Structure 1
Amino acid sequence: MPDLQTFKRTWKDVPKANGKCPWPARRPRDNHKEFKWDAVRFANKVYAVFETAKDTSIDILVWMDGDTFVHSPITYTEFRNLVPQTQWLHYLGRNRKWPECGFYGLTLRTEGANAFLKEFQRVYDEAENNGIFNMEEWHDSYVFWEVLKKIQPTYPNIKDFSGHLINGEGHPLINCELGKYFDHLKGVRKDEGKSRQRDLLSPRTESYWQG
């Protein structure tokens, strides 16, 4: 991925792009939360999306984090129904906080997806020219959120799996329709092997979630 390599060559030795908060210019209370400033680390993820989106044989592009676990069988038809082509974006919103970007889908070759991806990549390629380093944070989920807020008014036809459920902190994937099939082993849940019962906002009926 040449665009990714260009980004990493440019920023690999710059502290603010590698987890060091440019204090006090940005969020002094959060300067210890290095993930918020690790643009180089999260660039691997976003440039993989940008590169894959160039493939004209793909109609739906779905990003799923590697710590997502498929706990119940899902058919192709069921999966496609989760990410309908009638909407250009399918994502896990958290209302007043950046989205959970462990899962999202894009209906490629739509005006909304094209505009979103163009601006999403631009803010990385032009990081200091009204790009990611002009934002309050520059991990991929925050950047995704800022770009979406810019694009959504023009292209409002999107699917938010969880914005009505999650307001700020939370575990959106397992609390929406995706939880019927998937678990997201965020953080210490990787070691525990499963999300916790207390992560659920209401009981689920699937056998995976019983006990």
Structure 2
Amino acid sequence: MSDGNRGGEPDTKRSAERQQFLNELEALQRLDTTNESLESQYDGMTEIEQKRMVEKLTIENEADIRTFSMFLKLPTVCLLMLNLVFAYNYAVSGFGGPKLPFTSIRLYADHPMVATEISVVILQFTIYLLSSGRWDWITKGGVTLLLVAGVGCPLASNWNGVVEVVWWMLPALNLAIVSFAQLNMRRSRGDIEKLVARVNHDKNE
């Protein structure tokens, strides 16, 4: 009997630890699915869950700052790339763009400047999605779509009206996305500091 009890203890302990982990995970997931304030969520958690919540928010905040900081710098790099590629294409083959090897397809069709800018911006958004580190299937689908579009746009960019409209919309779109991203950070540094202060206050009581 005693041996049987000892044999079952590890399984019981592992089961309890697993259940505790699932409970903590469920509590953390509520951060993304509820409209409750941080304080309300904090009050309904255990001490371990509160600590995990603060750690999770801090990591996400730091990751968001790095991601969007890079995203703000990308337009400058993209414009430089755009001008260099356009200058090279014009120097080599004029406005028609160079031909692909062993084919008669011109790389930038009838609108080298427009097609190049579209390709560079597509690259910019691809890098942004890859650096986000979240969203799983949304990220994978978005990256795949952008990569396909990045190959197709330069080869098929011979529409006059549509491409020109898109060209002028790109700077506005870039600014809108950067602004939206900044306004929708997961949690501000102030919120995290409030939670940390509250955790420390509760420990001192």
Q: How high is the TM-score relative to the length of structure 2?
A: 0.25
Rg larger for = 2
Query: Greater helix share, 1 or 2?
Result: 2
Query: Greater strand share, 1 or 2?
Result: 1
Q: How high is the TM-score relative to the length of structure 1?
A: 0.24
